Structure 1
C-alpha cells in the first residue's frame, strides 16, 4: 500500500467500524467512494461491510444492509506527457587548419570544421581579408595560389540553416617567392690561390631549410661545394670556360630555382724580377724600372707596398720623396735628391698587392722584392 492510499484506508476502516458517523449512505459505500476518488482500492481482506462487527471472513447477512460484494475499483490511468524533441547542440567551430604558404605555389587545400546546430553550414569571411590569391567557398573549402606575401588577420563565420552563427579569428603567413642571385652566371674571374672567392650565388624568400642539388659539375679542380659557395683554394689557371657548375635550389614548399656559375682563374700576381738597384750618377737622385711583375687582376694595376726599410744610418726611414708605382707589369721607382745634399744608403723591401681578394680581409699579393739605394 503506498503512502498516499494508507490514510484513506485508515479513514474507511473507521467509518466501517462505526468510529465516525456515516450518515444516510452506508459507511462501506462512503469509504469505497473515498478510495475510488483517490485512485485507491480496498484490500481484499478489508472489503466494506455495514456491519460494524463483521469479521473479514463473514459474508453480509442481507442485501439491504450491505452489497453482496464491493465492486472492483480500477485506478484511473494517468496520461504521460508527449515526447519533446531533444535540444539542438550549440553551433561551434571545431577546426581551422590553416598553414603557411608561398607566393606562386598552390596552397594545399583545407576544409574548415564545425559541429552542432543544424547542418548544412555556410562559411564566409566576416572581417579582414584572406591573403591575395586565396578564397573560401561557402562549404568551408579554402585554397588557391597566393599572389602576395604577408601575415593578415581575419574572422571566419559559420551559420547553419536555422540562422545560428559562430565566429573565430584566423591568421597565417604567406612567404615571398623563392629567389636566387647568380653573379657568376656569365663569368667570374678569380685569382689563383684565392680562398674567399668561392661565393657564386645567394638565396632569398621561400621557406627553409633550402636544399641544393648539383646538376652539372665542372667545378675548379680540388674544390668543394657548400650551398652556393666553393670551398678551398682556387687552382692554377685553366683555359677560359674550363670551370662551370649548375646547382638547383629548392625550399620547403617545393619551389625550385637554378643557379649557374662559370669561372676563369687567372695567374696569381708575382714578381718576374725581384731585385733592383737605384744609384745616383750625374745628379744626386736615382730612378729604376728593373722590378717587373706578372699575373693579378687582368687590366688592373696593383699597388706597391713597402714592407721594410734597412738603413741604420738613417734611422730606417725611407728616403724623402721615395715613390714606387706599378703599371703594366713594371715598378717605376724614383728617389729625388735628399735635403741639404744628404746621402742615403740602404735597402727597401716591397711587394705588389692585387685588387682581387685572396683570403679573409686581405687581397692577393706577390712575394718580396728588394731595392738597393745609394744616393
Structure 2
C-alpha cells in the first residue's frame, strides 16, 4: 500500500512539473503568467540581482577607470542579410558572431538585438531602465556572450559574467532616424508571432548614441524569463531619438499571437518594471551634474514670482527716474532766470569806463595807433 502512495505522489509531481514547464513557455508581461508570477515558474526571476533597475544618479559611484565602450566590427555587417523576427515577446534581429564589444573586463561576441516599448497612450513609457525615475519611450538591447570562457550563448547565459548587454534609451522626436528605419520599415512583414524576414545588413554602430563614454554599469540579469543573473549591464546616458511615426509603428503594428489566432493580441508594453537594487553598486563613467526637477506647481510658482519681481523692479526704477528728473529741474531753474538789473549808480559809472578806454588811444587819430617795429 505504501508503494502505491509513493507511486501516486511521484506521478503527481511529474504531472505538476510537466504542466508548469508547459505553462512557463507561455509567459507574458501581463496575464496568467505575467510579471508578478514569473518567480513562481522561474526561480531566478525572484533573485536579489534582477534587472532592470532605476539608475539613481545621486547614488551612483563614479569610476574614472571606466573607458569608452568600443564596438567591434559593428560597421562590418558582411554580405549576408540579417534575420528579423517576431518571437511573440519582442522584435529580434540576429547579429554575426564576428561583431563584439571592447572596453569591458572580458571580450564579448554579439548574439542579437531586440527592443522594448509601450502602448502609445499617455506619457512616454516603454523603456525598461529608468534614470532618476524617468522612463523613455523605448529601449534597445544588444546582447553579447563571454567568448573568452564559453563556446556560445547557451553555455554563457547561466554563468556569472556570462553575458554583456548594451542598453540604449530611445525618445521620440521630429526627425526620422534612418538607422532605426532599417529595422522598423520591415515590421509589417513580421506582424505575427513566429514570422521572420531577411533584411539588408547595415552598420549597427549607427543604432548607438554618439557619446559612448558616458554610461552606467552594474551587475544584473536578463529582463525576461528565465531571468538568469549573469549580465554585465552598460546603459548609455545619452538617449537616441526616432520620429513619432517610427515609434507609433513599433507600438501598433505587431501582435504577440500567431496569424491564425481568432483574436490577435497586440504586442505592447513588453517591458519589465524596475527591480530592487538590493545594495548593488551602480558605477558611472562620468561625474553627473545634478539638475533639480521641478513639479508643475513649482514651475507655475516660479513663473508668477518672477513676473511679480519684474513688475516690482519696474515700479522702483520708475520712481527713481521720476525723483531724479524732479531734482534736476530745481538745479536748472537759476540758469533760466532773467539777468539782474543794474542799479542807477552802476549805470552812471559805465560811461566813465568808456572814456577811460578812449584816453588810451591817440586823440588826434580816431584809429588805433599802429605799433612801431623795434630797432
In proportion to residue count, which structure has more helix?
2
Q: Give me the TM-score of the superposition, normalised by structure 2.
A: 0.18
Q: Which has the higher contact order (CA 8 A, sep 6+)?
A: 2
Of structures 1 and 2, the larger Rg is shown by 1
Which structure is higher in strand share? Answer: 1
